[in-house]
Copies of this chain bind each other. A is one copy, B any other.
Amino acid sequence: MKQDNFINPTLLDYAILGLIQNQPLSGYRIRKTFEETALGNYSSSPGSIYPALKRLQKYELVEKIKLSASVKSQFQITQNGIQILQIWLSKPIEKMEVEKRIHELFLRFAFMDNLINNKRKIIFLKSFRDFLSSYIGELQEYHGNESDNMPLHGRLAFEHGIESSKTTLKWIKKALLQITKNEIK
């Protein structure tokens, strides 16, 4: 038995909320955005988007608005929705997320712009940096010990993981600089 009757949005739900945080969009526009932009591993397809929008309406995180008879209806985030989004954006990062659900962290980062203050953004990035940096250490240690026993392809794929994490770490540091600079201004 599930132990809560509370809202527990899926990643797709959050992606929709984040996308419409600034301007309302039609269902179709949302769908197309996921389909076309890089943001979209967060699956498109009518069979996922429309049910998701229904869910979000049911929980009153979005509402359908119709500006005029001629304009098609659009989905707008509610106050409630903004709150839920903010809570998600402000959640402390967990080690495991850095290791296994890094794409979710990037989604969160991409939607942070207007909804949380600089202090929190910096906390987010520093925590991201620290977890990732320690994870890279672990990967490198493992590589040092095991690389000789690994099959060529396994080893290469593993090395890609390390290099990729290092690139992300560099990026975090760059982003941190920009955000802190922003704060001082």
| Interface of A toward B, CB cutoff 8 Å | 38, 40-41, 99-101, 106, 109-114, 139, 151-154, 156-161, 163-164, 166-168, 170-171, 174-175, 178-179, 182
Task: Name the residue on B nearest A125 (C-beta).
Answer: B156
Can you list 11 A-B contacts (CB < 8 A)?
A: A38-B99, A41-B100, A106-B157, A110-B153, A113-B153, A156-B171, A156-B174, A164-B167, A164-B168, A164-B171, A166-B167
Given contacts A111-B153, A139-B38, A151-B113, contact A159 B178 (CB under 8 A): no
Number of identical monomers bound together in the oligomeric complex: 2
Contact residues in B for A99 (Cβ distance below 8 Å): 38
Could you tell me if A168 and B175 are in contact, using CB atoms closer than 8 angstroms? no
Could you tell me if B163 and A171 are in contact, using CB atoms closer than 8 angstroms? yes
Question: What distance in Å separates the Cβ of A58 from its nearest Cβ neighbour in chain B?
Answer: 26
Contact of A167 among B38, B109, B163, B182 (CB under 8 A): B163
Bound Cα distance from A150 to B65, whole angstroms? 26
Question: What distance in Å separates the Cβ of A158 from its nearest Cβ neighbour in chain B?
Answer: 7
